[in-house]
Structure 1
Amino acid sequence: MCLMFVCDEDERVLGRQLAPGACPYCGGMVQAIDVETQWRFCFLPFCFKTKRRYYCTICTRRLEVV
């Protein structure tokens, strides 16, 4: 007998906009990206989360707000 769980994560970009400030690594402009994450279990969606992520437009590093 084989038991298999199927979990999947799907991310979708909702919007992009410029954020105030500069990248501490290269001095480039910072971009705020709104991302919706959808978790699925056996192809049934059970969790939706919307997060805002910050990225540098020049060095493409993900930045964290402290």
Structure 2
Amino acid sequence: MVCFCFLVDQKRKISSSKPVAGTCSRCRRGASVADMKTVTRFCYVPFYCKSWKAIICTFCGALLKSYR
């Protein structure tokens, strides 16, 4: 018997953020430290949830550094 399970989506959400000194290396705009949450769903069912901190650009949204 073969069972297939497909990855449907993986979403990142920002729960809170604070400005940080420094600039984005890509667009030279401001950056902020944010509390991130990643939710992975398999077959439309929430399967895995992880919280972590990251430094992101406030203008282009690039992930500059992550703290897991």
TM-score of the aligned structures, taking structure 1 as reference length? 0.61
What is the aligned partner in structure 2 of residue 54 from structure 1?
55
Give % identity.
21
Gaps of 5+ in 2: none
User: C-alpha offsets along residues 19-40 of structure 1, whole Å, 9 cap, x if unaligned?
Assistant: 2x312743x5421122211111
TM-score of the aligned structures, taking structure 2 as reference length? 0.60
Bigger Rg, structure 1 or 2 = 1
RMSD: 2.5
Q: Give 1:5's aligned amino acid.
A: C
1:39 and 2:64 matched:
no
Poorly superposed stretches of 4+, deviation over 6 Å: none
Deviation at 1:4, TM superposition (A): 4.6
Tell whether the 8 Å contact from 1:6 to 1:43 is kept in structure 2 after alignment: no
